């Protein structure tokens, strides 16, 4: 690529005042949101490369963002999808109730996901606050621990011990990780300060689990405080199922305000990937006006991939309908464990160190159980207490988290009756939706005696466990202690200048090769890295006014641990 001088590439300089929250990832603080919004676009390809087919394996958000941007650049993405377009952004409805949408995967999005919101805005999709516990969007919250319930509108209504726990968390972050400096540097987009602070934290905490981080803090010397923290967490619910994970995963979420001010997409999250599939961008290179991904594919993506070989100067991809095609470049945007089962993947696609890092990827599990109700009955008042008959609920009982979506007083409501992760998810993985429903109702009857939830339910319960879904094998990656080196290998795989020629041209995307765990912004940014990689691989370049992640890589590269 043609490289302008360093000082021109490091745009824009740090802000003097804190801007809005941003998922400017401290490992690699590249401003993807600025990059995609810049009028110069993401780059240009040489004339002879225009119209070239590029394989995009996986039609989730990451694959669709990559394909959409490749199409805009004048390439011809060939999307392969084994299941449903949208992947883990899957929204379903019950027959006869089109407005009661169940988001089985991603459902709440922090405004700090600026790159993802760029695409939401492009498609004109509307969002509204998500009713997280104790947030203004939840009319009320019940915390039920050790068999006792506390009802609250805000955190201030909870007993003093909950405030102690909250203070302990704030102080621990400050004392152990200089969190206010970190957050301020991210909001000011002060890359130099971000790197100086974060690189130190990576070295300090790579081998430390979330639980060890808490337990070694004087603020959390009480087991009771750690236990409450594990159940109630710091925003969207309990975090104890994350306790075994690397604390770096948690610190990334905190310093980028990823756990704050969540919003949901009205009409369902799946509209984002599906919207990219049908959208007709106006700023297209090579293609005529009116071109969309759907039209380039004749309305359907190609079937799931069963084999990928490195052949000649590119890749040969075989799909489940025995279609075989070759491409000079390929983006793999399915959860990467699919490369080990279901797909016969040529060893030569990647260097051995990258295969090892893929094998070591740690995925969280997650289950959800939904029902649709005749109306948002939970807002009715209990005559004895004057309170809502049911509330957003966090509990140490089996449902763990109950979230209530109100679509209007006379409209069917949506109850996410149970949202669980890891061990809690495994406990229900072998149960049918009906069995889960019975068990959840038993548990909730102990918290809300006298509330007849079943009488309000219309239609069958809907359940999902992502670790048992064949094309996913897990909910989302979250690295274990000691995983930083693997994560670095995967997230920087798009930089192939030092790779042997026979290891170039195959790009990993998807949220599981990105830094911040469990959020769709990561699927988007990983896709954009892969787009930069493909453009570079095919002889293209970015505009000097709008350098891409690979152009500034050396200035902001993730720190190397010895
Ligand atoms: C339970 C849960 C809750 C979540 N909550 C949130 C949230 O609230 N907010 C948020 O921002 N993010 C959330 N996420 C994360 C978000 O859903 C993901 O980051 C994002 O959807 C990942 O997109 P992706 O394209 O990387 O992967 P995927 O969505 O997994 O897409 C990959 C696609 O590849 C396909 N595929 C697999 N194998 C093959 C094959 N052999 N050939 C072709 N195609 C194949 C799959 O069918 C799939 O469609 C959540 C995820 C889960 C599971």
Give per-residue pLDDT as tens, 54-87: 999 999 999 999 999 999 999 999 999 999 999 9
Atom of ligand 1 at shortest range from CA of 85: 49
Host H or E run for residue 403: strand 401-405
Residue 81 CB–ligand 1 contact under 6 Å: yes
pLDDT tens-place string over residues 308-340: 999 988 999 999 999 999 999 999 999 999 999
Residue 121 has a CB neighbour count (10 Å cut-off) of 12
* Ligand 1 contact via 416 beta carbon (within 6 Å): no
Annotated ligand binding at 106? The verdict is yes
The answer to whether 62 is annotated as binding is yes
| Residue 138 reports pLDDT greater than 80 | yes
Exposed, middle or buried, 430 (CB in 10 Å: 0-12/13-18/19+)? exposed
Helix (H, G, I), strand (E, B) or coil at 36: helix
Tens-place pLDDT, residues 9-50: 334 456 667 777 788 999 999 999 999 999 999 999 999 999
Q: What is the pLDDT of residues 78-128, one digit of tens each?
A: 999 999 999 999 999 999 999 999 999 999 999 999 999 999 999 999 999
Pairwise CA distance, residues 235 & 508, whole Å: 31
3-state SS assignment for residue 291: coil
CB 511 near ligand 1, within 6 Å: yes
- Taken in order 196, 200, 202, 203, the sign of the CA dihedral is positive
pLDDT digits (tens, 9 = 90+) for 266-306: 999 999 999 999 999 999 999 999 999 999 999 999 999 99
Residue 81 labeled ligand binder = yes
What is the distance between the alpha carbons of residues 335 and 469, in angstroms, rounded to a whole number? 11
Which residue has tokens 């392969």? 80
19 annotated to bind ligand: no
Query: Rounded distance, CA 476 to CA 493, Å?
Result: 19
Which pLDDT belongs to residue 15? Answer: 67
Closest listed residue to residue 345, CA positions, set 335, 355, 353: 355
State both tokens at 312.
Answer: 């000649």
> How far does residue 384's CA lie from ligand 1's centre (Å)?
45
Helix (H) or strand (E) holding 371: strand 366-373
- 422 CA distance to ligand 1 middle (Å): 17
Nearest partner of 471 among 148, 82, 195, judged by Cα: 82
165-207 pLDDT, tens digit per residue, is 999 999 999 999 999 999 999 999 999 999 999 999 999 999 9
If you count them, how many residues does the chain have? 562
Q: Is 82 annotated as a binding residue?
A: yes
- The Cα 43–Cα 54 span in angstroms is 16
- Tell me how far the alpha carbon of residue 271 lies from the centroid of ligand 1, in angstroms: 14
Please tell me the distance from the alpha carbon of residue 284 to that of residue 70, in angstroms, as a whole number: 10
Determine if ligand 1 sits within 6 Å of the CB of residue 338: yes
Record the pTM.
0.96
Q: Look-up: residue for tokens 């004109």?
A: 124
Query: Which helix (H) or strand (E) element contains residue 102?
Result: strand 97-103
Cβ pair 404, 385 in contact under 8 A: no
Q: Is the CB of 343 under 6 A from ligand 1?
A: yes
The answer to whether 268 and 91 have CB atoms below 8 angstroms apart is: yes
In this structure, what are the phi and psi dihedrals at residue 91, rounded to the nearest 5 degrees? -115, 135
> Quick check: CB of 476 below 6 Å from ligand 1?
yes
Q: How confident is the model over 404-415, as pLDDT tens digits?
A: 999 999 999 999
Rg (the chain; Cα; Å): 24
How crowded is the C-beta side of 155, counted as CA atoms within 13 Å?
A: 15
What does the pLDDT read at residue 19? 72
CA of 562 to the centre of ligand 1 (A): 32
Q: What separation in Å is there between the alpha carbon of 297 and the centre of ligand 1?
A: 21
- Answer whether 422's CB lies under 8 Å from 241's CB: yes
- Evaluate: CB of 533 within 6 angstroms of ligand 1: no
Q: DSSP string spanning 335-367? A: -GGGGTTTSEE-GGGS-HHHHHHHHT--EE-EE
Nearest CA to ligand 1 atom 20: 520
Q: Any known ligand binding at 389?
A: no
Residues 6+ apart with CB under 8 A from 434: 460, 461
Is the ipTM here above 0.90? yes
Instruction: Give yes or no for residue 273 CB within 6 A of ligand 1.
Output: no
Give 260's pLDDT tier (boundaries 50, 70, 90).
confident
3-state secondary structure 440-493: HHHHHHHHCCCCCCHHHEEEEEEEEEHHHCCCCCCCEECCCCCCHHHHHHHHCC
Distance of CA 393 to the CA centre of its chain: 23
Q: Which helix (H) or strand (E) holds 185?
A: helix 179-187
Cβ 419 under 6 angstroms from ligand 1 = no
Rounded Cα–Cα distance for residues 62 and 57 (Å): 10
Q: Which atom of ligand 1 is nearest to the CA of 86?
A: 49
Mutating to test ligand 1, I would choose from 60, 65, 344 the residue with most ligand atoms within 8 A of its C-beta, which is 60
Q: What is the mean pLDDT of residues 472-482?
A: 96
- Asked whether the predicted pLDDT for residue 8 surpasses 70, the reply is no
Q: Is the CB of 235 under 6 A from ligand 1?
A: no
Mean pLDDT of 545-555: 98
Phi-psi bin for 134: left (phi > 0), alpha (psi -120 to 50), beta? left
Q: What is the distance in A from the centroid of ligand 1 to the CA of 373? A: 27
Domains (range + CATH), the chain: 6-87+268-360+477-556 (3.50.50.60), 136-177+210-244+366-473 (3.90.660.10)
Report whether 107 belongs to an annotated binding site.
Answer: yes
Q: Please tell me if the CB atom of residue 248 comes closer than 6 angstroms to any atom of ligand 1.
A: no
Angle at 358 between CA 316 and CA 491, to 5 degrees: 90
Q: Which of 55, 87, 367, 465 to mutate to test the pocket of ligand 1 (most atoms within 8 A of CB)?
A: 87
């Amino acid at each position: 690529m043609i490289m302008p001088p360093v000082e021109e590439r490091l745009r824009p300089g740090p802000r003097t005042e804190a801007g809005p929250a941003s998922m400017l990832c401290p490992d690699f603080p590249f401003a993807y949101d600025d990059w995609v919004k810049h009028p110069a676009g993401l780059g240009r390809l040489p004339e002879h490369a225009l119209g070239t087919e590029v394989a995009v394996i996986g039609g989730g958000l990451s694959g669709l963002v990559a394909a959409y941007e490749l199409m805009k650049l004048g390439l011809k993405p060939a999307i392969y999808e084994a299941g449903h377009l949208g992947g883990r952004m899957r929204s379903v409805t019950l027959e006869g109730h089109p407005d009661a949408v169940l988001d089985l995967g991603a459902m709440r999005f922090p405004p700090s996901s600026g790159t993802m919101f760029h695409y939401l805005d492009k498609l004109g999709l509307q969002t509204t606050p998500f009713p997280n516990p104790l947030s203004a969007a939840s009319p009320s919250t019940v915390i039920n621990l050790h068999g006792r319930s506390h009802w609250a509108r805000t955190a201030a209504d909870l007993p003093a011990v909950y405030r102690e726990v909250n203070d302990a968390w704030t102080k621990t972050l400050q004392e152990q990780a200089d969190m206010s400096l970190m957050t301020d540097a991210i909001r000011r987009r002060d890359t130099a300060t971000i790197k100086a602070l974060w690189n130190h934290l990576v070295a300090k905490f790579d081998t430390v689990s979330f639980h060890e981080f808490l337990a070694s803090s004087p603020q959390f010397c009480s087991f009771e405080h750690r236990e409450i923290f594990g159940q109630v967490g710091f925003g969207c619910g309990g975090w104890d199922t994350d306790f075994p994970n690397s604390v770096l995963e948690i610190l990334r979420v905190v310093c980028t305000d990823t756990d704050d001010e969540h919003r949901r997409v009205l009409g369902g999250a799946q509209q984002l990937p599906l919207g990219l599939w049908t959208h007709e961008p106006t700023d297209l290179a090579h293609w005529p006006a009116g071109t969309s991904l759907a039209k380039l594919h004749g309305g359907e993506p190609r079937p799931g991939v069963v084999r990928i070989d490195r052949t000649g100067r590119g890749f040969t991809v075989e799909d489940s309908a025995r279609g075989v095609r070759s491409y000079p470049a390929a983006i793999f945007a399915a959860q990467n464990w699919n490369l080990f089962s279901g797909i016969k993947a040529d060893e030569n696609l990647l260097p051995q160190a990258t295969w090892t890092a893929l094998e070591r990827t740690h995925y969280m599990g997650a289950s959800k159980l939904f029902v649709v109700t005749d109306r948002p009955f939970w807002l009715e008042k209990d005559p004895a207490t004057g309170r809502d008959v049911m509330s957003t609920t966090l509990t140490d009982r089996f449902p763990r988290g109950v979230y209530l979506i109100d679509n209007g007083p006379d409209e069917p409501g949506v109850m996410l009756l149970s949202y669980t992760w890891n061990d809690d998810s495994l406990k229900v993985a072998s149960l049918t939706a009906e069995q889960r429903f019975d068990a959840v109702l038993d548990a909730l009857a102990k918290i809300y005696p006298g509330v007849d939830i079943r009488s309000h339910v219309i239609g069958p319960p809907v359940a999902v466990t992502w670790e048992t879904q064949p094309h996913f094998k897990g909910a989302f990656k979250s690295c274990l202690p000691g995983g930083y080196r693997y994560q670095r290998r995967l997230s920087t795989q798009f930089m192939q200048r030092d790779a042997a020629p026979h290891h170039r041209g195959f790009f990993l995307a998807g949220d599981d090769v990105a830094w911040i765990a469990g959020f769709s912004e990561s699927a988007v940014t990983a896709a954009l890295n892969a787009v930069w990689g493909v453009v570079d691989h095919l002889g293209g370049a970015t505009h000097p006014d709008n350098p891409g992640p690979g152009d500034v890589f050396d200035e902001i590269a993730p720190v190397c641990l010895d």
